[in-house]
Amino acid sequence: MDISIIIPTFNEGKNVQVITERLKEALLPLNRSFDIYFMDDSTDRTPDRLSELAAQYAFVHFIHRTGNRGLAKAVVEGLQLASGKIVIVMDADLQHPPELIPEIIDKIESGYEMVIPSRFVPGGSDGGLNGYRRFISWTGRMLARLALKRIRGVSDPTSGYFAVRKTVIAGKTFHPIGWKVMLELIVRAHIDKIAEIPYRFDARSHGSSKMNAAESLKYVLHLFRLVWASEEDRRFYLFCMVGLSGVAVNLAVYQLLLAGHVHVLLAFIVSSLVSMLGNFFLNQFFTWKMRPPTNAFAWMPRLIKYVIVSCSGIGVSSAIVSLVHYFFHFSPILSGILGIVGGVFWNFLLNDRWTFNARKTNVLSEVHLLEESQTVIHHVKK
Ligand code: GDD
Ligand code: MN
């Protein structure tokens, strides 16, 4: 099969016929084989409409699901069933225009792994949502882009309309919670060649949206899970946790030495060195997941770099503290906090790029706008 369309449905009896007709019109001229999978969780008579459609058209399949309901789960089940080389996911309610499909196919065939019709590139619009939904939706997009590097260059990461090349996701496992299955695919399948094409998201023709507050909460939970699942994204948080554990180690050793009547300054220096060494090993094996060294001292050059970074971090923090305290007259406490925060970022970045030399492959780095086609292309820096 060349193209499989996956459509999740929940009580969409009035829409399924129309979308099938419009899909047929959009797909027939392409001269490719195609089929449609309706992944249905409806509680009304939608399954009756769907079985009529399946009887009418050989290319229509529908799965009425009873257990394990939910939008993203329905789509993931559809992804497993669909045999198309290109898989397109879209809603049943015609807010996602089937007429974009030729352009979508074109982009995928020109080499992109994923194509996202976007409401937020020039030429697109988001007329289908009211002001409140728009605000929630904006917040959701910003959160995703803050939390996940791979999403940073995507203008419409919460889109429910997208196409993906099957080979890119084959053999991978997905377990999204809530709605945003596309985020799940991009992060877990390490997708990075993404094109976005503009479209107008208009009001629904029939029925009403199933989006609600519980789904928004699940979305935040989903983001947490994705950050945790994504090595490049969770690193910073692991680094902060190691840093905090280092403070505890430092204080504990300091206490011990003081109890052993070691002089205060000496005790402080020794406990600081011990915690720095501990942090180094924790970061090496845990945060940056370096493989155990092949020879006993392979970690030495890294340790030296780490110490240099840590010392430069003290310099950077001190510079920040002096700047905000003496020039901007911030209170000592606030200045100290800013200094620590600045130092943490400095240390993290230097250790990431230099000490542990985390390769920056597969991260979207530039977004270019092609004037003529109005297509946003994400260039990948290797
Ligand atoms: N199988 C299944 N199970 N389908 C569901 C479920 C469910 O629990 N809940 C909703 N759907 C189906 C609907 O029938 C519809 O086809 C599609 O999922 C989207 O639901 P809507 O209720 O129409 O969502 P929306 O219009 O508010 O938002 C949609 O478009 C946005 C812009 O692309 C969603 O796709 C959003 O995720 C997306 O951001
Ligand atoms: Mn909709």
The model's pTM is: 0.84
Q: How far apart are CA 315 and CA 157, in angstroms?
A: 39
Q: How far apart are CA 339 and CA 334, in angstroms?
A: 8
Q: How far apart are CA 29 and CA 62, in angstroms?
A: 24
**Cα 226 from chain centroid (whole Å):** 6
E strand map for 92-188: 114-118, 162-165
- Of 39, 50, 91, which is best to mutate to test ligand 1, by the most ligand atoms within 8 angstroms of its C-beta? 91
Q: What are the beta bridge partners of residue 222?
A: none
What atom of ligand 1 comes closest to residue 137's alpha carbon? 39
The answer to whether 258 and 264 are in contact (CB under 8 A) is yes
Residue 292, classified by CB atoms within 10 Å of its CB into exposed (0-12), middle (13-18) or buried (19+), is exposed
For atom 34 of ligand 1, the residue with the nearest CA is 160
Question: Is residue 9 within 6 Å of ligand 1 at its C-beta?
Answer: yes
Q: How far apart are CA 83 and CA 6, in angstroms?
A: 11
Q: Would you state the structure tokens that stand for residue 126, as one six-digit string?
A: 């988001």
The alpha carbon of 216 and the centre of ligand 1 are apart by a number of angstroms equal to 13
The alpha carbon of 71 and the centre of ligand 1 are apart by a number of angstroms equal to 7
Q: Where are the domains of the chain?
A: 3-229, 233-366
Amino acid identity at 299: W
Judged by its nearest atom, the ligand closest to the C-alpha of residue 118 is 1
13 backbone dihedrals φ, ψ, rounded to 5°: -50, -35
- Of 10, 177, 205, 208, which is best to mutate to test ligand 1, by the most ligand atoms within 8 angstroms of its C-beta? 10
Q: How far apart are CA 283 and CA 340, in angstroms?
A: 18
E strand map for 137-296: 162-165, 194-198
- The confidence score (pLDDT) of residue 115 equals 98
Question: Is residue 12 within 6 Å of ligand 1 at its C-beta?
Answer: yes
Q: Which residues contact 153 (CB under 8 A, 6 or more apart)?
A: 194, 364, 365, 366, 367, 378
The alpha carbon of 347 and the centre of ligand 1 are apart by a number of angstroms equal to 43
What atom of ligand 1 comes closest to residue 7's alpha carbon? 16
pLDDT digits over 3-15, tens only? 999 999 999 999 9
- Which segments in the chain show pLDDT lower than 50? 360-382
The answer to whether 6 and 22 are in contact (CB under 8 A) is no
Domain 3-229: homologous superfamily in CATH: Spore Coat Polysaccharide Biosynthesis Protein SpsA; Chain A (3.90.550.10)
Q: How far apart are CA 23 and CA 100, in angstroms?
A: 10
Q: How far apart are CA 208 and CA 180, in angstroms?
A: 19
Q: How far apart are CA 378 and CA 142, in angstroms?
A: 18
Supply the DSSP symbol for 262: -
Question: Is residue 70 within 6 Å of ligand 1 at its C-beta?
Answer: yes
- The confidence score (pLDDT) of residue 130 equals 80
Q: Which residues crowd ion ligand 2, with CB under 5 Å? A: 91, 93, 95
Question: Is residue 95 within 6 Å of ligand 1 at its C-beta?
Answer: yes
Q: Nearest CA to 3 among 87, 60, 75?
A: 87
- The confidence score (pLDDT) of residue 108 equals 97
pLDDT digits over 160-202, tens only? 999 999 999 999 999 999 899 999 999 999 999 999 999 999 8
- The confidence score (pLDDT) of residue 292 equals 62
Question: Is residue 42 within 6 Å of ligand 1 at its C-beta?
Answer: no
Question: Is residue 211 within 6 Å of ligand 1 at its C-beta?
Answer: yes
The answer to whether 2 and 33 are in contact (CB under 8 A) is yes
Question: Is residue 39 within 6 Å of ligand 1 at its C-beta?
Answer: yes
What atom of ligand 1 comes closest to residue 75's alpha carbon? 1
For atom 32 of ligand 1, the residue with the nearest CA is 159
